[in-house]
Structure 1
Amino acid sequence: MKIKNKLLSTFVAASLAISAGSAMAAEKIRFATEGAWALFNFIDETGKPQGFDVDIADALCEKLQAECEMVTQDWDGLIPGLKVRKFDAIIASMSITEERQRVVDFTDPYYSGGLRFVAAKDKDFDTTVEALKGKTIGAQRATVGGIYLEDNLSDVVNVKLYDTNDSVYLDLKSGRLDGAISDELPTYEWLKNEPGFEYKGEAFNKNDKIGIAVRKNDQELRDKLNRALQAIVADGTYAEINAKYFPFSIY
């Protein structure tokens, strides 16, 4: 009898240990970001991902009492990587579009943005369609800016698409581009360090909503992230992170 009780106790303890281990594993969220979209996501001098997106992910994990792991992935590989379970969610300033919603699900928006032209200050750059004719305009491939450029101006301007926004900026500075279309907020940070360049015209496409992507029908994770997002907005954590990067609200 004592032997049976001892065996039973051992079995229960082992079962509890396995259950506890499974619960701990379930509380780990593996986020992916691009690492090339400052100030939202970038790689610091130690090789570690940083930025607004990363800080939001950390705050969400803290609210959920989950372990947060951040990995980097080239932009074009983010959604394919999510689908094959290389990571659990994408937090990379990804716009919520109908096309993407066909293959992934999104949380509620965690910030809103818009598009804007940028060019050299000393360049005569009018953003009307007539004035843009024949100009060479750049944008990052597969972004809202790049898609807008292809869909709306490909018969007006010479379109140049790049793998990263940093490459767009490099060609803009070298004079290989007359101008660029980019998300207004990342460009805001770049312009602070590039006094020879400025926004041209007003912001447009302001209905750009940015969300965290999860695998299609991963309702449990999406709901958890939405609840955590609401919580960090309510308790002021979101506002603190916002103020770290921008002197105005982007929520």
Structure 2
Amino acid sequence: MRSSRLPLALGGIALTVALAAGCSSSAEEAPETPDVAVDEDLAALLPDDVREAGSVSVGTEAQYPPYEFVDTADGETIQGLDIDLLEAAAAKLGLDYELDNVAFDTLLPSLDSERYDLVVAGVTDSVERQANYDFVDYFSADQAIIVPAGNPDDIAEMGDLCGLTVSVLVDTSQQALLEAENEASCAEDEIDILTQQTDTEALTQVQVGRASATLTQEAVGVYNAAQIQDGAAFEVANTESISGEPLGFVFAKGDDELRDAFQAALQSLVDDGTYGEILEGWDVSLGALDEITVNGAE
């Protein structure tokens, strides 16, 4: 038993390294960020203290490609779809930003404690979260069930996960979807939900055989399936849509001026074509929105 498990353990280590490399790209491979000029009318919407400071603090969790991830060329630079949208919106508002890379489950509590002015981390807007936070929705994200290549458990939909172990990033809408499935179609044969601190770790559990699948956002799943081991390690199992939901920049309740300024800046990027150019650069145009809304989840 010990010798037969050893290759799995080593494989897990190897995969962690491969994920770090495979899910990131060098700065040269990342799409170019369009030049964006300051819009003084939009900048005037900012709260006085933010406009005077000229900068905002932003929390993220940079292990979620293509939304945000660390460039392996220098091991420090955070890049991705969300970062490009943040940079373009901040430029419209005449702002710099300070980006802090922390664990996902600390992001919203840190917003509560005013450590950050906003959170940009591929966060799903939900009615439940709207009770405590405001969302400026910028993208429509579907979900994907990621399985080993060959799909050995013949998974095609959420109901096929009953009785299986499924890894998932902790405190996410994907975890909530699995819990809801356990209360519905899997009530008599529940999914064993294996929560992890990062999406990378959740994927690792599938690779080493501790989980049959992982549930993640579609753009992330498709990106990982294509990048890791030249697309030979994983595949997307579901063929139908699973709970498409909006993603949003997250703001503290009561921070209406900052929220509305970012909404207006992102809408301006939609209107002038910059938004579409950024999404096309990351090959995620199917998630594009025509209107940037506040708290659009219903």
**TM above 0.5:** yes
Pick closer, same or farther for the CA change 1:51–1:102 going to 2, 3 Å.
same
Show the 5 A alignment for 1:117-196.
Answer: 117-122=145-150, 123-127=152-156, 131-153=160-182, 155=187, 156-193=190-227, 194-196=231-233
Return the index of the structure with the highest Cα Rg.
1
Give CA deviations for 1:81-100 in whole Å, capped at 9, x if unaligned: 11111110011110111221
Counterpart of 2:267 in structure 1 is 230
What secondary structure is seen at the aligned counterpart in 1 of 2:287? Answer: coil
For structure 1, the 5+ residue unaligned runs are 1-20
TM-score (structure 1 length as normaliser): 0.85
Q: Does structure 2 retain, via aligned residues, the 8 Å contact 1:116–1:203?
A: no
| 1:119 partner amino acid | V
Q: Does structure 1 retain, via aligned residues, the 8 Å contact 2:145–2:221?
A: no
Q: Does structure 2 retain, via aligned residues, the 8 Å contact 1:117–1:201?
A: yes
Once the two structures are TM-superposed, the CA of residue 69 in structure 1 deviates from its matched residue by 2.0
Of the three residues 259, 267, 276, the one matched with 1:239 is 276
Once the two structures are TM-superposed, the CA of residue 112 in structure 1 deviates from its matched residue by 0.5
Q: For 1:127 and 1:23, how far apart are their aligned partners in 2?
A: 48
Give CA deviations for 1:147-174 in whole Å, capped at 9, x if unaligned: 1112213642222111111001111111
Pick closer, same or farther for the CA change 1:55–1:128 going to 2, 3 Å.
closer
Give CA deviations for 1:59-84 in whole Å, capped at 9, x if unaligned: 00111111222221211111111111
Of the three residues 285, 289, 294, the one matched with 1:248 is 285
Pick closer, same or farther for the CA change 1:128–1:88 going to 2, 3 Å.
closer
Name the structure where strand makes up a greater proportion of residues: 1
Of the three residues 18, 21, 35, the one matched with 2:62 is 35
| 1:210 partner amino acid | L
Counterpart of 1:218 in structure 2 is 255
Q: Does structure 2 retain, via aligned residues, the 8 Å contact 1:137–1:180?
A: yes
Q: For 2:265 and 2:176, how far apart are their aligned partners in 1?
A: 31
Pick closer, same or farther for the CA change 1:234–1:88 going to 2, 3 Å.
same
Once the two structures are TM-superposed, the CA of residue 133 in structure 1 deviates from its matched residue by 3.3
Of the three residues 229, 239, 247, the one matched with 1:202 is 239
Counterpart of 1:97 in structure 2 is 126
TM-score (structure 2 length as normaliser): 0.72
Q: Does structure 1 retain, via aligned residues, the 8 Å contact 2:161–2:191?
A: yes
Q: Does structure 2 retain, via aligned residues, the 8 Å contact 1:141–1:147?
A: no
Q: For 2:278 and 2:179, how far apart are their aligned partners in 1?
A: 34
- The number of aligned residues is 230
Counterpart of 1:114 in structure 2 is 142
Pick closer, same or farther for the CA change 1:26–1:203 going to 2, 3 Å.
farther
Q: Does structure 2 retain, via aligned residues, the 8 Å contact 1:113–1:209?
A: yes
